[in-house]
Amino acid sequence: MGPWRLCARCTGLYPALLLTFGALAAARSPLSWTGDLLWVLALTAPALVDWSVGVFAPAWGARWLRSATGALLGVALGRSLYVHVQRPWPQMLVAQGLAVAAVALPVLLVRRSVSASP
């Protein structure tokens, strides 16, 4: 974007997070919806998959795809953050953190071992 280099995933994530959080707060959304945990994890998964593939194949995918998966993640994080602000450490936020860690740690360890190989 002009002279600035922006992360494609972040350009989707942060606006979606802020808009989701703001809309939920303005609407005084209930703290519990049917299927909240499943929706949050389902919206988080595409960004995790896209990021994982991108770690090993940076040329794979397109900017619009990274922005879209970032936006989905932003919606999921916006929902989790909204509930977290009202009731700290809700189940969905903990599950999101565990899902991200369960994907990121093995991917980063494999990448590190591949990079360290002669």
Q: In the prediction, which pLDDT does 1 show?
A: 57
Per-domain residue ranges for the chain?
8-112
pLDDT 10s digits, 54-96: 989 888 878 999 999 999 999 999 999 999 999 999 988 999 9
Q: In the prediction, which pLDDT does 27 show?
A: 96
pLDDT 10s digits, 33-63: 888 999 999 999 999 999 999 989 888 878 9
Rounded to whole angstroms, how far apart are CA atoms 45 and 27? 26
The answer on pLDDT for 115 being more than 80 is no
CA trace torsion 80, 44, 66, 114 (10° rounding): 120
Where does the pLDDT of residue 118 fall: very low under 50, low under 70, confident under 90, or very high at 90 and above?
low
Q: In the prediction, which pLDDT does 50 show?
A: 94
Burial 11-20 (b: 16+ CB within 10 A, else e): bbbbebbeeb
